[in-house]
């Protein structure tokens, strides 16, 4: 038995913050942001809007696309760095909002690699026969862990959610996955704050060494792509679409060059979404599918790298 993606869904909050808007808040400029990151705008949640709310919208759209009812869902794997609360899991909160009362529901915390990790886990559940209708979700509200006076980080991120429905198949849909982590790099990209005794200790905002992240990301994304294609016994040239974590257009372009994949076959949404962490790949996937760019029979390579460091790739055959 194999698994395949039967439907996709995405959701972005209504409020849009442009680079010009940020010029009024911090010492930056539209030109500075665009030339270094490729980002023009990002979506930000409304007051009271939670990660589970974004996930709910994305999941409903994915279920509709798959022709499935929430009552058929027997597994929810939700990747997020920004849960609604410390516990219970945001997956359980989402489960209740969907009206699902059976099966397993749990969160995955692999930062920007979260969706790739979650898809790999759900694939194993479906392949083993433990799940027949899995929701795999990436949802983030990064606007609440940003220091909006720090121009080096606040311009990079946005909020959003994406989801896919994974079902059994007699033909390979998710062909191969590979996951990695190296905890020696925890300090390069982190939110080092803690809650202790009802007080915040340390810095509760995103901190990042941009140059180090760039070098590491391009290196491991190229390596894991080769690894997953070797596992699938397919050459890189067979990739029809490359969907990388949407962190920075320079990382996307550098990785595509290393893999010899032309930019015409690379899905790019970072200009309009910014970095939505675990939500970035499913959002980009949903947009490309709904636009008719990704068609049945095509091979799609999903890749991400995130804080930890974590990284991974999934090769998917569409349809």
Domain 2-170 has CATH 3.60.150.10: no
Q: Give, in order, the Cα–Cα distances in Å from 204 to each of 28, 146, 227.
A: 22, 8, 36
Chain centroid to Cα 306, Å, comes to 10
The one catalytic residue in 19, 273, 275, 314 is: 275
The one catalytic residue in 112, 133, 154, 314 is: 112
Quote the tokens at residue 170.
Answer: 């007699």
Mark whether 112 is an active-site residue. Answer: yes
pLDDT value, residue 222: 98
pLDDT value, residue 91: 99
Task: Please provide the size of the chain in residues.
Answer: 319
The one catalytic residue in 245, 248, 273, 314 is: 245
pLDDT value, residue 316: 98
Which residues are bridge partners to 44 per DSSP?
Answer: 15
pLDDT value, residue 80: 99
pLDDT value, residue 160: 99
pLDDT value, residue 53: 99
Query: Domain 175-317 belongs to what topology?
Result: Peroxisomal Thiolase; Chain A, domain 1 (3.40.47)
Beta strands at 134-141 and 75-79: parallel, antiparallel or unpaired: parallel
Q: Could you say which residues of the chain have pLDDT below 50?
A: none
pLDDT value, residue 146: 98
Mark whether 245 is an active-site residue. Answer: yes
pLDDT value, residue 145: 98
- Domain borders along the chain are 2-170, 175-317
Beta strands at 199-201 and 194-196: parallel, antiparallel or unpaired: antiparallel
Mark whether 275 is an active-site residue. Answer: yes
Domains 2-170 and 175-317 belong to one CATH topology: yes
Fill in the DSSP letter of residue 36: H
**CB–CB of 282/8 below 8 Å?**
yes
pLDDT tens-place string over residues 246-271? 999 999 999 999 999 999 999 999 99
pLDDT value, residue 9: 99
């Amino acid at each position: 038995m194999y698994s395949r993606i039967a439907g996709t869904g995405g959701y972005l909050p209504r409020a849009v913050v442009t680079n010009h808007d940020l010029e009024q808040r911090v010492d930056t400029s539209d030109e500075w942001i665009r030339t270094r990151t490729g980002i023009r705008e990002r979506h930000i949640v409304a007051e009271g809007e939670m990660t589970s709310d974004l996930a709910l919208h994305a999941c409903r759209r994915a279920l509709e696309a798959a022709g499935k009812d929430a009552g058929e869902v027997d597994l929810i794997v939700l990747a997020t760095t920004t849960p609604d609360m410390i516990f219970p899991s945001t997956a359980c909160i989402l489960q209740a909002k969907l009206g699902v009362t059976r099966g397993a529901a749990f969160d995955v915390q692999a930062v920007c690699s979260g969706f790739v990790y979650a898809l790999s886990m759900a694939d194993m559940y479906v392949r083993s026969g433990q799940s027949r209708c899995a929701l795999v979700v990436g949802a983030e509200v990064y606007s609440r862990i940003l220091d909006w006076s720090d121009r080096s980080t606040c311009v990079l991120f946005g909020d959003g959610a994406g989801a896919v429905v994974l079902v059994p198949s007699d033909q390979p849909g998710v062909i191969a996955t590979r996951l990695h982590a190296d905890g020696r790099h925890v300090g390069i990209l982190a939110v080092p704050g803690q809650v202790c005794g009802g007080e915040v200790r340390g810095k509760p905002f995103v901190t990042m060494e941009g140059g180090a992240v760039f070098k590491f990301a391009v290196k491991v994304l190229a390596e894991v792509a080769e690894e997953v294609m070797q596992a699938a016994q397919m050459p890189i040239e067979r990739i029809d679409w490359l969907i990388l974590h949407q962190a920075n257009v320079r990382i996307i372009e550098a990785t595509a060059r290393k893999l010899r994949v032309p930019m015409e076959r690379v899905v790019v949404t970072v200009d309009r979404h910014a970095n939505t962490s675990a939500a970035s790949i499913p959002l980009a996937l949903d947009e490309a599918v709904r636009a008719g760019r990704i068609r049945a029979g095509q091979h799609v390579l999903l890749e991400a790298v995130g804080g930890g460091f974590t990284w991974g790739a999934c090769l998917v055959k569409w349809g």
